[in-house]
Chains A and B, each alone.
Chain A
């Protein structure tokens, strides 16, 4: 495909194996996080326990990051006209480095092995650099975008957020693993890494995706044009200001910017819920309801974060983390996976000239519905365990079941795809 007509050809769609490898291994990291919770009843007593740090990175770097990058391989050509050069090779390299990196980093943090922390961070950074460089090349080659949608611009902003989060994470790994002296204290650096990863990368990516996914797939009115024009740049600007205040020790400024970020996240969540209430699709399906629950979890997490500003207590940051990581991101990501994976299998079969079974034959509704119900129950148990840490093993059992089931459901699609393609 020539670059004269970027992104419009089937040929520019990466091969099925490229995103699929990310989607299939990601749930295994969620499963590992559940196992850790199962065997460590003290894990959620504070955000600083080695087990909590390991679980956070199993979720964030193991599950979320993998699915997000796998999905970007697919969405960059369609939404931004940017097809990654050599997608098969980039996918294989990034995937291997990310998976090994997330495993090593989590092991290092959980078991206190400095060498594994540094190795994990370097593998992760290597995978991310490979991905970021190739997506920058693709975006630079893409035709300039004159469309009304802010998605292409905001995908770029999210990649900028990912770059900052990666840089901060790598510095932290060297501080922990090699004793690198940081110019700021460790908790501040950790907060900066977490906020850049959640808001600068995850939040902006979720928003950029929602601008198209919510109106188009849930058939709702569009997000207001002024809202999508301002939201991501304002969020990024607040993040920069907040970081400057944090580094310079301006605590009032940091508090105000932090509240500004909470307001931005709340506005996104409320706006999305408002649009979802006006969906024209008659019967909201399970992924739709899971997405709505995720928006409610996001709102709840903001309330908890606000509370944590004014009330000491180690349970508040843990509860907020649970609501953001598991409630918001695992929820939206699971909902999207259930739409993306069957469709990619269908598209692959159709392109190969095979009469493809429809997406609900590739993955029927009942197992999806039950798995997402289990996700909601697991979220409830995790929230309870954040307040009563002794409940962590119960939450662990449910998380293990949730991610095993997600994995089984996705494998089911691959089996149906295989069966149809060999008929």
Chain B
């Protein structure tokens, strides 16, 4: 069976690829294509965040009783990343390649240190603590993520 860690880590990597596409197109100043790529990336990342916030984190919190713990911190980091995504969109609107590059670099480091914590610590904790529920959670998460990627 696929673990929560495997499924969600795989989705991180596929979001990374969409990020890289948007970054490359913006550096080439291909604004229409960059806008499309950024929209795709934003939508994938939002789906990932929502899958965590609405499915994974509540299950983890219910199973462990930790509501102010790691999941709260991860939610806070999602807020930061959403704010940076908005700045990326407005840099594209202004066709400002330098601004986009700077915000993109900031988002990438922010996102990867966030992913590292999830992949190395939180997801393995979820796999361990959710026990028998894991299979159902993996099913629900893959359903949500697959809907996004099919769209």
- A interface list, Cβ under 8 A from B: 2, 4-10, 78-81, 143, 145-149, 151-152, 212, 215-217, 219, 222, 280-283, 339, 343, 346-347, 350, 358-361
Min distance, Cβ A279 to any Cβ of chain B, angstroms: 8
Give Cα distance in the complex from A78 to B117, angstroms: 5
The 8 A-B residue pairs with the shortest CB-CB distance, nearest first, are A282-B24, A360-B102, A358-B102, A280-B20, A8-B70, A5-B69, A146-B124, A5-B70
Give Cα distance in the complex from A361 to B110, angstroms: 16
Sample (15) of A-B pairs whose CB atoms are under 8 Å apart: A5-B70, A8-B117, A10-B76, A80-B120, A81-B117, A146-B128, A148-B5, A149-B120, A280-B21, A281-B24, A282-B20, A282-B27, A283-B27, A343-B106, A359-B102
Chain B residue numbers with a CB within 8 Å of A6 are 121
Instruction: Answer yes or no: B39 CB below 8 A from chain A CBs.
Output: no
Instruction: Answer yes or no: B94 CB below 8 A from chain A CBs.
Output: no
Chain B residue numbers with a CB within 8 Å of A146 are 5, 124, 127-128
Cβ-defined contact, A81 with B120, below 8 A: yes
Give Cα distance in the complex from A350 to B23, angstroms: 23
Instruction: Answer yes or no: B103 CB below 8 A from chain A CBs.
Output: yes
Give Cα distance in the complex from A152 to B124, angstroms: 13
Cβ-defined contact, A281 with B23, below 8 A: yes
Most A Cβ at <10 Å: residue of B13, B66, B73: B73
Min distance, Cβ B101 to any Cβ of chain A, angstroms: 6
Give Cα distance in the complex from A219 to B22, angstroms: 13
Instruction: Answer yes or no: B123 CB below 8 A from chain A CBs.
Output: yes
**B120 closest partner in A (C-beta):** A147
Interface residues of B in 105-139 (CB under 8 A from A): 105-106, 108-110, 112-113, 115-117, 119-125, 127-128
**B25 closest partner in A (C-beta):** A282
Min distance, Cβ A80 to any Cβ of chain B, angstroms: 7
Chain B residue numbers with a CB within 8 Å of A350 are 80
Cβ-defined contact, A143 with B106, below 8 A: no
Cβ-defined contact, B6 with A5, below 8 A: no
Q: Which of A5, A216, A222, A339 contacts B66 (CB 8 A)?
A: A5
Known: A8-B73, A219-B16, A339-B109. Contact between A283 and B123, CB under 8 A? no
Cβ-defined contact, A149 with B74, below 8 A: no
Cβ-defined contact, B27 with A147, below 8 A: no
Known: A8-B70, A8-B74, A280-B20. Contact between A79 and B120, CB under 8 A? yes
Known: A145-B124, A147-B124. Contact between A361 and B102, CB under 8 A? yes
Most A Cβ at <10 Å: residue of B23, B28, B112: B112
Chain B residue numbers with a CB within 8 Å of A2 are 69
Instruction: Answer yes or no: B36 CB below 8 A from chain A CBs.
Output: no
Instruction: Answer yes or no: B17 CB below 8 A from chain A CBs.
Output: yes
Cβ-defined contact, B105 with A359, below 8 A: yes
Most A Cβ at <10 Å: residue of B20, B24, B80, B103: B20
Name the interface size band of chain B.
35 or more
Give Cα distance in the complex from A145 to B6, angstroms: 14
Known: A10-B73, A280-B20. Contact between A216 and B124, CB under 8 A? no
Cβ-defined contact, A346 with B106, below 8 A: yes
Chain A residue numbers with a CB within 8 Å of B98 are 360
Given A9-B70, A217-B109, A280-B16: 7 more A-B contacts, CB < 8 Å: A8-B70, A145-B120, A148-B119, A215-B13, A219-B19, A282-B28, A358-B105
**B98 closest partner in A (C-beta):** A360
Instruction: Answer yes or no: B95 CB below 8 A from chain A CBs.
Output: no
Cβ-defined contact, B24 with A212, below 8 A: no
Cβ-defined contact, B28 with A81, below 8 A: no
Min distance, Cβ A398 to any Cβ of chain B, angstroms: 28
Cβ-defined contact, B66 with A4, below 8 A: yes
Cβ-defined contact, A8 with B122, below 8 A: yes
Instruction: Answer yes or no: B9 CB below 8 A from chain A CBs.
Output: yes
Cβ-defined contact, B120 with A151, below 8 A: yes
Give Cα distance in the complex from A152 to B103, angstroms: 29
Min distance, Cβ B38 to any Cβ of chain A, angstroms: 14
Cβ-defined contact, A147 with B16, below 8 A: no
**A350 closest partner in B (C-beta):** B80
Chain B residue numbers with a CB within 8 Å of A81 are 117, 120-121
Chain A residue numbers with a CB within 8 Å of B21 are 280
**A346 closest partner in B (C-beta):** B106
Known: A8-B73, A281-B20, A343-B106. Contact between A216 and B121, CB under 8 A? no
Give Cα distance in the complex from A151 to B113, angstroms: 14
Known: A146-B124, A148-B9, A217-B112. Contact between A283 and B24, CB under 8 A? yes
Chain B residue numbers with a CB within 8 Å of A283 are 24, 27
Give Cα distance in the complex from A212 to B23, angstroms: 20
Cβ-defined contact, A359 with B74, below 8 A: no
Give Cα distance in the complex from A361 to B105, angstroms: 11
Known: A8-B122, A147-B5. Contact between A219 and B17, CB under 8 A? yes
Known: A281-B24, A282-B24, A359-B106. Contact between A152 and B101, CB under 8 A? no
Interface string of B1-37 (1 = CB under 8 A from A): 0000110010001001101110111011000000000
Give Cα distance in the complex from A346 to B108, angstroms: 13
Chain B residue numbers with a CB within 8 Å of A347 are 110
Cβ-defined contact, B121 with A8, below 8 A: yes
Give Cα distance in the complex from A358 to B101, angstroms: 9
Give Cα distance in the complex from A350 to B107, angstroms: 13
